[in-house]
């Protein structure tokens, strides 16, 4: 709750409902830093990403002309692809090397083999390939590798930013499989800077909190 208060004050927000699910997740992770949880100092590689179900795209999102993509059983065919961004720079695009595979609602898992190194704020975006002209954004997730402590970073439905007119079951999950890079010197400066920046913000928050407490004690 203190981490949420810190960020809403910084952003001058009075209504936290404007925050995206991914921002709430980030704040919860930041709260761990404030509680002096040690950060992950290792450079990580995203080995693969697994989506555990095929989402439903409602008619408004199934093409500009509302021409539904259907197979002979009149069921929606999902052609997902992933993009990964570091800041505003794309560091991975599934379409660069692969043609989107087709999935139906009875398919249980969608797996992307990635193999991309990440050292900073990372955004993963999933889109649906309708045709060469039309693409539909489905969802996005965000995380920082210094706040990833397990081999699998699991995003539950409540942690995912969905586009409008996207439906999933409550059990929707995205698993990001991570491993440490063997080359510990890779982009060490970038990782260390991100780690120190996070610690600096957390320490400043603690100082502000202590100052506010002292001020309150004097007024009392």
Question: Which comes out higher in pLDDT, residue 114 or 4?
Answer: 114
Whether residue 172 is predicted with pLDDT greater than 80 in this model: the reply is yes
Percent with pLDDT over 90 in the chain = 40
pLDDT in tens, 106-123: 898 999 999 999 988 899
Q: Residue 111: phi, psi to the nearest 5? A: -115, 135
Q: Check if the beta carbon of residue 79 is closer than 8 Å to that of residue 149.
A: no
Encoded tokens for 32: 């761990």
Contacts of 22 (CB under 8 A, 6+ apart): 140, 141, 142, 159, 160, 161
pLDDT at residue 81 tops 50 = yes
Give me the pLDDT at residue 6, please: 53
Q: How confident is the model at residue 207 (pLDDT cuts 50, 70, 90)?
A: low
Task: Give 93 or 63, the one with higher predicted confidence.
Answer: 93
Task: Give residue-wise pLDDT tens across range 111-158.
Answer: 999 999 998 889 999 999 988 788 999 999 998 888 888 899 999 999
Comparing 17 with 128, the larger pLDDT belongs to 128
Q: What does the pLDDT average to over 168-172?
A: 94
Whether the per-residue pLDDT at 73 is higher than 60: the answer is: no
**In the predicted model, what is the mean pLDDT of residues 53-74?**
57
Provide the 8-state DSSP code for 181.
-
Band of residue 43 on the pLDDT scale cut at 50, 70, 90: confident
pLDDT band at 90 (very low <50, low <70, confident <90, very high): very high
* Percent of the chain predicted with pLDDT > 70: 60
């Amino acid at each position: 709750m203190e981490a949420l208060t810190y960020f809403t004050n910084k952003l001058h927000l009075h209504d936290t409902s404007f925050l995206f699910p991914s921002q709430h997740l980030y704040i919860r992770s930041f709260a761990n830093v404030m509680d002096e949880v040690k950060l992950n100092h290792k450079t990580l590689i995203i080995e693969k990403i697994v989506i555990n179900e095929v989402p439903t795209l409602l008619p408004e999102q199934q093409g500009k002309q509302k021409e539904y993509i259907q197979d002979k059983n009149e069921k929606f065919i999902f052609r997902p692809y992933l993009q990964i961004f570091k800041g505003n720079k794309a560091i991975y695009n599934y379409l660069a090397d692969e043609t989107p595979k087709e999935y139906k609602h009875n398919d249980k898992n969608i797996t992307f083999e990635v193999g991309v190194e990440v050292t900073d704020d990372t955004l993963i975006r999933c889109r649906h390939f309708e045709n060469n002209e039309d693409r539909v954004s489905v969802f996005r997730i965000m995380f920082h590798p210094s706040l990833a402590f397990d081999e699998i970073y699991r995003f539950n439905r409540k942690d995912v930013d969905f586009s409008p007119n996207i439906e999933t079951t409550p059990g929707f999950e995205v698993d990001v499989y991570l491993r440490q890079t063997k080359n510990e010197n890779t982009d060490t400066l970038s990782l260390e800077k991100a780690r120190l920046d996070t610690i600096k913000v957390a320490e400043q928050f603690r100082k502000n909190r202590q100052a506010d407490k002292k001020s309150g004690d004097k007024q009392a």
